[in-house]
Amino acid sequence: MSETVHCVIAAAPSGAGPAAVSVSLPNLQSLLAQLTEGDRLVMNEGSPAMPWEMRMASLTGLPGDAGHVPWAAHESGMLGTPCAWITLCHWEVGTDHVLLASPGALAVDDDTSTALHASMAPYFEEDGITLEPHPARPGLWLATGELFRHLPCTSLDRVIGRRLTRSFFEAKDEASRTLRRLQNEMQMLLYTHPANDRRADEGLPPVNSFWVTGAGVLDEPAATLQGTLMLEHRLQEPALRQDAAAHAQAWRDIDASTCADLLARLKAGQPIHLSLCGNLAAQDYVTQARSPWGRAAQLFKSRPDLRFMDSL
């Protein structure tokens, strides 16, 4: 029997209006019409993680509950050492709140990342934290240090575009207090940084802080998944920007590529496990063996109404 293809589609609804109701998605509809509804994961608004992250963690075999999945260790292959991802970002600071802009809109280039790393790294080293730039993603650094062993983290997807009040930043442990201090120090350091002067000349927002995600330690590699795992994330950036038009176009692109590929695999007899993930829920759809009567009944089954995605 062919190996199962596991596909997780993140940010299925846009948050800026109906998810895909007004968009023609023939391949997705055909796919869902031939799959069986499976498990549903429901999370609350206060969760530090997103449903798609917990689905990916489960499929990847990573330990930890929401906010404690060691993504950085897994993605970097760092075993036995506490680590986390540091993402450069822009905070819009108000009188009683902070608004975090999407790092994807910052357009941090290699020169900016290199210059800021040279200035910021010494401050982190004083607290036992080493920063290593990601080789392919400017503005993303791997941070290693004992501080990250048990540090709870909130997903960027949970905080982007959200008004974060003072209570959100209240540190509950020594590690969190250290990071809050570093964030304050970096705001002062970056306020007059030459790299931000250059960005201002180019009409770009300043990099004025950082966010920590994926902290933890992984003592051994995650268990190997039986099958193929795909993460479809093209909906995320327009969803975070609440750009309904861009979100709809991303859905069309996904339907014409990823969904068409999954449908072709399903027709060829390959098992499919699809997870549609929103802000508060993830719904699974799976291949299920059918009797001859079930296969005949499938021919008369109507295509699903995609408005159900608004409940995710």
Which run of H or of E encompasses 285?
strand 281-286
In this prediction, what percent of the chain has a pLDDT beyond 70?
89
Q: 117: how many CB neighbours lie within 10 A of its CB?
A: 18
Closest CA to 157 of 242, 265, 33: 242
- Mean of the pLDDT values across residues 122-133? 98
CA distance 120 to 196: 14
Pair of tokens at residue 251:
């859905």
- Mean of the pLDDT values across residues 59-85? 96
CA distance 186 to 192: 11
| pLDDT, position 296 | 45
Which run of H or of E encompasses 286?
strand 281-286
DSSP conformational letter for 160: B
Pair of tokens at residue 20:
């895909």
Tens-place pLDDT, residues 185-231: 999 999 999 999 999 999 999 999 999 999 999 999 887 778 899 99
Q: Which residue has the higher pLDDT, 163 or 193?
A: 193
Q: In what order do the strands lie in the sheet with 272-277?
A: 36-42, 281-286, 272-277, 5-9, 228-232
| pLDDT, position 312 | 67
Domain limits, the chain? 5-61+224-311, 71-216
Tens-place pLDDT, residues 255-297: 999 999 999 999 999 999 999 999 999 999 999 865 444 444 4
Which residues lie below 8 Å from residue 155, measured CB to CB, with a gap of 6+? Answer: 48, 49, 50, 53, 213
Lowest mean per-residue pLDDT among 37-41, 162-166, 229-233, 284-288: 162-166
Question: How far out from the chain centre does Cα 298 lie?
Answer: 35
CA distance 274 to 288: 12
